[in-house]
Amino acid sequence: MNTNSFRPKSESNQMVFGIRAVIEAIQGGKELESLYIQRGLSGAILGELRSILKEYEISFQSVPVEKLNRLTLKNHQGVVAFISPIIYQKIEDIIPVIYEKGEIPLILILDGITDVRNLGAIARTAECSGVHAIVIPSKGSAQINPDAIKTSAGALFKIPVCRHESLLKTAKFMQDSGLQLIACTEKTNNYLYQPDYTGPSAIIMGSEEDGISSDLIRIADHLAKIPILGEIESLNVSVSAGIILYEAVRQRVL
């Protein structure tokens, strides 16, 4: 895949504030990393912004004005956005290209990974292990900001990142496209060495606190856990991702 389209528009997340400025940024093709709108805000121009957000399928968070005031002391008019340093992709566009190139898809789904350094570390390992794309939810995921990019050693500029409203619908699309879903979870007796990763696969990782959502667990084709032999009951999620991704590499290379 040509990765030039995934390169950054800037090195940092640029703040945009004010309703009209945010509207112009969206209509100008800027990708928003995050958008905050003051709770209870109303008015005709805000209605215009909401229509544009619906048209472009952009998520936002309703927050108290105090949060916005902590972000900037300038006249934000109840709306503050950050422009993403990367361009998000759609997995529906990526999977057909992988097949057309004669490659076997290997996708990584991150469910609720909220720590930016974990996200960056996972992206670095994913890029090194040949993952074709990372899929994250529109809400409840770590921001891709300078800290995440630095921790990824630039991998977030090289590997496509897909942001989708519903991970469940996206995962079902992958199954319909011939990919098996392998959920890395402690809620099984099967070890990660048992699935066959040589076919089209999507590996799901969950947060250390909550794990993978029950809906994704329910539709997964395989559940796989990492053996824990010591007294500490869990691994850092970025370490876990490295272990299971390189089991997939081992099977595909050997």
Give the C-alpha separation, 63 to 208, whole Å: 26
146 and 76 share one domain? no
Q: Which of 22, 48, 83 is the last residue of a domain?
A: 83
Q: How many domains does the chain have?
A: 2
Sequence-ordered list of residues with C-beta below 8 angstroms from that of 66, at least 6 positions apart, any chain: none
Q: Which of 53, 83, 113 is the last residue of a domain?
A: 83
98 and 215 share one domain? yes
Would you state the pLDDT for residue 49? 94
- State the residue range of the domain holding 70: 4-83
173 and 246 share one domain? yes
119 and 209 share one domain? yes
Q: Which of 83, 115, 144 is the last residue of a domain?
A: 83
Q: Check which CATH number belongs to the domain holding 153 and give it.
A: 3.40.1280.10
114 and 166 share one domain? yes
The tens digit of pLDDT for each residue in 11-70 reads: 346 899 999 999 999 998 888 999 999 999 988 889 999 999 999 889 899 999 999 999
152 and 78 share one domain? no
Of 4-8, 35-39, 40-44, 86-90, give the lowest mean pLDDT range: 4-8
183 and 111 share one domain? yes
Would you state the pLDDT for residue 98? 98
Whether the predicted pLDDT of 194 surpasses 60: yes
Whether the predicted pLDDT of 3 surpasses 80: no
Q: Check which CATH number belongs to the domain holding 18 and give it.
A: 3.30.1330.30
Would you state the pLDDT for residue 13? 61
The tens digit of pLDDT for each residue in 143-187 reads: 898 899 999 999 999 999 999 999 999 999 999 999 999 999 999
The tens digit of pLDDT for each residue in 109-118 reads: 999 999 999 9
146 and 182 share one domain? yes
Would you state the pLDDT for residue 208? 83
152 and 219 share one domain? yes
12 and 102 share one domain? no
Would you state the pLDDT for residue 12? 46
69 and 115 share one domain? no
Give the C-alpha separation, 55 to 61, whole Å: 17
Rounded mean pLDDT, 229-234: 89
Q: If pLDDT is split at 50, 70 and 90, which confidence band does 95 have?
A: very high
